[in-house]
Structure 1
Protein backbone atom coordinates (compact mmCIF):
# COMPACT_ATOMS: atom_id res chain seq x y z
CA UNK A 1 0.00 0.00 0.00
CA UNK A 2 1.52 3.36 -1.00
CA UNK A 3 2.26 5.94 1.67
CA UNK A 4 -0.29 8.70 1.91
CA UNK A 5 1.23 12.06 1.02
CA UNK A 6 1.10 14.58 3.86
CA UNK A 7 -0.50 17.82 2.75
CA UNK A 8 -1.45 21.11 4.34
CA UNK A 9 0.34 22.59 7.35
CA UNK A 10 1.78 19.23 8.48
CA UNK A 11 3.74 18.99 5.22
CA UNK A 12 6.02 21.70 6.63
CA UNK A 13 6.77 19.86 9.87
CA UNK A 14 9.91 17.95 8.80
CA UNK A 15 11.57 21.11 7.45
CA UNK A 16 10.50 23.12 10.51
CA UNK A 17 12.02 20.54 12.85
CA UNK A 18 15.22 20.40 10.80
CA UNK A 19 15.62 24.16 10.40
CA UNK A 20 14.79 25.24 13.96
CA UNK A 21 16.02 22.15 15.84
CA UNK A 22 12.90 21.65 17.94
CA UNK A 23 10.11 19.07 17.72
CA UNK A 24 6.64 20.20 16.73
CA UNK A 25 5.51 19.64 20.33
CA UNK A 26 7.86 22.48 21.35
CA UNK A 27 6.16 24.89 18.95
CA UNK A 28 2.70 23.77 20.10
CA UNK A 29 3.74 24.60 23.69
CA UNK A 30 5.02 28.01 22.59
CA UNK A 31 1.70 28.68 20.87
CA UNK A 32 -0.22 27.49 23.92
CA UNK A 33 1.49 30.28 25.86
CA UNK A 34 0.01 32.86 23.45
CA UNK A 35 -3.26 31.06 22.72
CA UNK A 36 -5.28 34.19 23.46
CA UNK A 37 -3.74 36.02 20.49
CA UNK A 38 -5.33 36.17 17.02
CA UNK A 39 -3.94 34.02 14.22
CA UNK A 40 -1.69 36.66 12.65
CA UNK A 41 -0.47 37.84 16.07
CA UNK A 42 0.58 34.26 16.83
CA UNK A 43 2.41 34.15 13.48
CA UNK A 44 4.14 37.44 14.33
CA UNK A 45 5.11 36.03 17.76
CA UNK A 46 6.92 33.05 16.16
CA UNK A 47 8.58 35.27 13.56
CA UNK A 48 9.76 37.91 16.04
CA UNK A 49 10.76 35.68 18.97
CA UNK A 50 12.35 32.83 17.00
CA UNK A 51 13.21 34.34 13.61
CA UNK A 52 10.87 31.90 11.90
CA UNK A 53 9.88 32.42 8.29
CA UNK A 54 6.30 33.40 7.54
CA UNK A 55 5.35 30.12 5.82
CA UNK A 56 6.64 27.99 8.68
CA UNK A 57 5.05 30.18 11.35
CA UNK A 58 1.73 30.26 9.50
CA UNK A 59 1.74 26.46 9.09
CA UNK A 60 2.36 25.93 12.82
CA UNK A 61 -0.34 28.40 13.83
CA UNK A 62 -2.81 26.89 11.35
CA UNK A 63 -2.19 23.39 12.72
CA UNK A 64 -2.33 24.58 16.32
CA UNK A 65 -5.62 26.39 15.83
CA UNK A 66 -7.15 23.37 14.09
CA UNK A 67 -6.03 20.75 16.61
CA UNK A 68 -5.31 22.36 19.97
CA UNK A 69 -8.15 24.76 20.59
CA UNK A 70 -11.55 24.15 22.15
Structure 2
Protein backbone atom coordinates (compact mmCIF):
# COMPACT_ATOMS: atom_id res chain seq x y z
CA UNK A 1 0.00 0.00 0.00
CA UNK A 2 1.34 3.42 -0.89
CA UNK A 3 1.96 6.14 1.66
CA UNK A 4 -0.98 8.11 0.35
CA UNK A 5 -3.39 5.21 0.91
CA UNK A 6 -2.11 4.70 4.45
CA UNK A 7 -2.92 8.33 5.23
CA UNK A 8 -6.33 8.35 3.53
CA UNK A 9 -8.03 4.98 3.11
CA UNK A 10 -10.40 6.17 0.39
CA UNK A 11 -11.91 2.80 -0.52
CA UNK A 12 -13.14 1.83 2.94
CA UNK A 13 -14.51 5.15 4.23
CA UNK A 14 -18.06 6.06 3.33
CA UNK A 15 -20.82 7.81 5.18
CA UNK A 16 -23.91 5.87 4.14
CA UNK A 17 -26.24 8.61 5.43
CA UNK A 18 -24.55 11.29 3.29
CA UNK A 19 -24.61 8.99 0.28
CA UNK A 20 -28.37 8.46 0.65
CA UNK A 21 -28.99 12.22 1.03
CA UNK A 22 -27.11 12.92 -2.20
CA UNK A 23 -28.96 10.18 -4.05
CA UNK A 24 -32.32 11.56 -2.86
CA UNK A 25 -31.43 15.20 -3.61
CA UNK A 26 -28.84 15.10 -6.40
CA UNK A 27 -26.72 18.22 -6.48
CA UNK A 28 -22.96 18.72 -6.90
CA UNK A 29 -21.01 17.82 -3.78
CA UNK A 30 -17.32 18.30 -3.00
CA UNK A 31 -15.20 16.18 -0.69
CA UNK A 32 -16.59 12.72 -1.44
CA UNK A 33 -14.29 9.74 -1.04
CA UNK A 34 -13.86 7.48 -4.04
CA UNK A 35 -16.12 4.88 -2.45
CA UNK A 36 -18.81 7.49 -1.76
CA UNK A 37 -18.65 8.61 -5.40
CA UNK A 38 -19.20 5.04 -6.52
CA UNK A 39 -22.08 4.53 -4.10
CA UNK A 40 -23.77 7.77 -5.17
CA UNK A 41 -23.26 6.89 -8.83
CA UNK A 42 -24.76 3.44 -8.28
CA UNK A 43 -27.77 4.91 -6.47
CA UNK A 44 -28.37 7.50 -9.16
CA UNK A 45 -27.95 4.89 -11.90
CA UNK A 46 -30.67 2.83 -10.21
CA UNK A 47 -32.89 5.92 -10.50
CA UNK A 48 -32.15 6.23 -14.25
CA UNK A 49 -30.15 9.45 -13.93
CA UNK A 50 -28.03 10.05 -17.09
CA UNK A 51 -24.28 9.46 -16.82
CA UNK A 52 -23.49 13.08 -17.66
CA UNK A 53 -25.61 14.29 -14.73
CA UNK A 54 -24.09 11.74 -12.36
CA UNK A 55 -20.62 12.86 -13.42
CA UNK A 56 -21.51 16.49 -12.70
CA UNK A 57 -22.89 15.61 -9.26
CA UNK A 58 -19.96 13.50 -8.07
CA UNK A 59 -17.23 15.51 -9.81
CA UNK A 60 -15.89 13.02 -12.35
CA UNK A 61 -16.00 12.66 -16.11
CA UNK A 62 -18.90 10.87 -17.80
CA UNK A 63 -16.36 8.30 -18.99
CA UNK A 64 -15.72 7.33 -15.34
CA UNK A 65 -19.44 6.76 -14.80
CA UNK A 66 -19.68 4.60 -17.93
CA UNK A 67 -16.66 2.59 -16.76
CA UNK A 68 -18.12 2.10 -13.28
CA UNK A 69 -21.36 0.91 -14.83
CA UNK A 70 -19.58 -1.56 -17.11
CA UNK A 71 -17.66 -2.91 -14.10
CA UNK A 72 -20.89 -3.26 -12.14
CA UNK A 73 -19.74 -0.83 -9.43
CA UNK A 74 -17.57 -3.62 -8.00
CA UNK A 75 -15.28 -1.28 -6.03
CA UNK A 76 -18.21 0.04 -4.00
CA UNK A 77 -19.21 -3.32 -2.58
Please classify the TM superposition score into its range, dividing by the shorter chain length: 0.3 to 0.5
Q: TM-score, normalised by structure 1?
A: 0.39
Give the structure with the higher percent helix.
Answer: 1
- By relative contact order (CA 8 Å, sep 6+), the higher-ranking structure is 1
